[in-house]
């Protein structure tokens, strides 16, 4: 419930915040105030979770925290879209992907140190997450756009939910690919426990150990995929081959897992998937920045729409997967077959993209981003 409510809320809050951040005119820049606001919201939500004594407060706090963290993350991406040059986007997104893998592990270790004090178990990691980016907030060279703004209309907020894919074709294909790939992930990550019990006859303890093993090893394969592919995509000045290759691997992964007859096959399928999503996650974001409509100076708006391609499958994927499972008569393998089909569509959606140089949006080197 917590995840579902938070995931649904960000489908509305992020696009609106993206539009408003593009219109923000302040001495602190356009993205910094929203980044800070997101961190404050996340801290408040985490405090509610840590101090809450009833289910309603805990669920509400979790949803608020999800909204806050997602807002800050989207503002960081918008800032990178404003400032990061094309030849460094793969590297930076690769590092970002690696941090995304390492962060939860650090959080679990810190939270585990306060397992006997439930309040501190949530408050301490949240406080660290808030204080950690302070150096970045202070040093970031956020643009202070001073161009004329048309009068604000309430209907302008809806612009954060759509764009014209015929006008911005490359960006449209990037979003469509991400939508399919994350639909695949939403399907493929749901029923591993039940699949292992049904196909291999494992008990709950053995299943938990096996999944934990795949998750632990998967952190390393995802980091290797993210950093390696991000760096190479910059070095070779090409994103598409990496995304198509990762799409092929994302087709193979659920097929391997869905037909598993041994624990080794399950581990191999899982690691192929984590390696592939490491590649896709970093290079996909770099390609999104490459294809941003630079003539409109609305990176916040467009990257919020880009984020919907992640949020929509997360919100509705579980329901669709349950429907497929019902149609398949409870055969979990079919959920993985559909996941493979979505991944194939994601890979095919990359093929039509033809990326040229972005128009004259000013960028700076990575040394100046912070």
CATH number at residue 215: 1.20.1250.20
pTM: 0.86
Let me know the angle formed at the C-alpha of 76 by 67 and 16, rounded to the nearest 5 degrees: 50
Inside any domain, residue 179: yes
CA torsion 3-8-13-14 (nearest 10°) is 80
Residue 367 lies in a domain: no
The share of the chain scoring above pLDDT 90, in percent, equals 51
Average pLDDT, the chain: 87
Mean pLDDT on 124-150: 80
Mean pLDDT of 43-58: 88
Q: What share of the chain is helix, strand, coil (3-state, %, to 5)?
A: 75, 0, 25
pLDDT band at residue 50 under the 50/70/90 scheme: confident
Residue 2's Cα: distance from chain center in Å? 18
How far apart are the C-alpha atoms of 124 and 103, rounded to whole Å?
Answer: 14
Q: Please state which of the ranges 1-5, 31-35, 206-210, 308-312 shows the lowest mean pLDDT.
A: 1-5
Question: pLDDT at residue 136 above 60?
Answer: yes
**Highest-confidence segment of 114-123, 177-186, 296-305:** 177-186
Percent of the chain having pLDDT more than 70?
Answer: 92
- How many domains is the chain built from? 1
What pLDDT score was predicted for residue 295?
65
Report the range of poorest mean pLDDT among 57-66, 85-94, 110-119: 110-119
For residue 368, the model assigns a pLDDT of: 42
Closest CA to 62 of 72, 41, 76, 48: 48
Q: Is 309 exposed, middle or buried (0-12, 13-18, 19+ CB in 10 A)?
A: buried
Furthest-apart CA atoms within the chain: distance in Å: 66
Q: Which residues contact 220 (CB under 8 A, 6 or more apart)?
A: none
The answer to whether position 148 is within a domain reads: no
Q: What is the mean pLDDT of residues 15-39?
A: 90
Question: What whole-number distance in Å separates Cα of residue 23 and Cα of residue 275?
Answer: 38
- Of the ranges 27-31, 239-243, 292-296, 307-311, the best mean pLDDT one: 239-243
In a domain, 360, yes or no: no
Lookup: tokens for 148: 């004329």
Q: Please report the beta strands in 161-252, taking only residues with DSSP state E, as ranges in sequence order.
A: none
Q: Report pLDDT for 152.
A: 78
Contact 170, 239 (CB under 8 A): no
Confidence of residue 129 (pLDDT cuts 50, 70, 90): confident
| Secondary element (H or E) of residue 123 | helix 118-131
Band (pLDDT 50/70/90 cuts) for residue 1 is low
Residue 34 has pLDDT above 50, yes or no: yes
291 touches 174 (CB < 8 A): yes
C-alpha 149/C-alpha 141 separation (Å) is 22
C-beta separation of 70 from 10 below 8 A: yes
- Mean per-residue pLDDT, 213-229: 94
Domain that includes residue 290, residue range: 2-140+167-355
Q: Could you tell me if residue 156 is inside a domain?
A: no
- How many CA atoms does the CB half-sphere of 232 hold within 13 Å? 12
- pLDDT value, residue 369: 47
Higher pLDDT, 189 or 327: 327
Phi-psi region of 147 (alpha: psi -120 to 50; beta: other; left: phi over 0): beta
The pLDDT score that the predictor gives to residue 133 is 85
In a domain, 157, yes or no: no
What does the pLDDT look like over 229-265, one tens digit per residue?
A: 999 999 999 999 999 999 999 999 999 999 999 999 9
In a domain, 311, yes or no: yes
In the predicted structure, residue 145 carries a pLDDT above the cut 80? no
| 318 in any annotated domain | yes
C-alpha 201 chain-centroid distance: 34
pLDDT tens sequence across 307-341: 999 889 988 888 899 999 999 999 999 999 999 99
């Amino acid at each position: 419930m917590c995840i579902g409510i938070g995931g649904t809320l960000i489908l509305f809050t992020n696009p609106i915040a993206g539009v408003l951040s593009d219109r923000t005119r302040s001495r602190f820049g356009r993205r910094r105030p929203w980044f800070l606001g997101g961190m404050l919201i996340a801290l408040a939500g985490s405090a509610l979770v840590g101090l809450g004594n009833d289910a309603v407060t805990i669920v509400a706090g979790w949803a608020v925290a999800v909204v806050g963290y997602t807002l800050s993350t989207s503002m960081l991406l918008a800032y990178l879209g404003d400032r990061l040059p094309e030849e460094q986007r793969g590297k930076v997104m690769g590092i970002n992907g690696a941090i995304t893998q390492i962060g939860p592990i650090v959080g679990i270790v810190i939270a585990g140190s306060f397992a006997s004090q439930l309040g501190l178990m949530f408050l301490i990691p949240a406080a660290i997450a808030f204080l950690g980016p302070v150096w970045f907030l202070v040093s970031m060279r956020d643009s202070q756009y001073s161009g004329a703004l048309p009068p604000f209309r309430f209907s302008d907020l809806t612009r954060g939910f759509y764009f014209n894919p015929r006008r911005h074709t490359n960006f449209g294909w990037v979003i469509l690919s991400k939508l399919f790939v994350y639909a695949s992930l939403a399907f493929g990550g749901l029923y591993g426990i039940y699949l292992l019990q049904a196909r291999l006859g494992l008990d709950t303890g053995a299943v938990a150990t096996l999944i934990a093993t795949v998750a632990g090893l998967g952190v390393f394969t995802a980091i290797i995929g993210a950093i390696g592919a991000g760096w190479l995509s910059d070095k070779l000045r090409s994103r598409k081959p990496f995304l198509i290759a990762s799409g092929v691997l994302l087709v193979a992964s659920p097929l391997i897992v869905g037909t598993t007859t041994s624990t080794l096959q399950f581990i191999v399928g899982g690691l192929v998937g984590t390696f592939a999503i490491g590649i896709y996650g970093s290079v996909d974001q770099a390609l999104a920045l490459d294809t941003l409509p630079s003539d409109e100076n609305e990176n916040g708006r467009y990257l919020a729409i880009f984020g919907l391609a992640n949020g929509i499958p997360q919100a509705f994927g579980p329901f669709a997967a349950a429907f497929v499972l019902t149609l398949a008569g409870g055969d979990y393998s079919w959920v993985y077959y559909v996941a493979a089909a979505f991944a194939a569509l994601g890979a095919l959606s990359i093929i039509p993209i033809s990326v040229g140089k972005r128009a004259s949006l000013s960028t700076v080197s990575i040394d100046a981003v912070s």
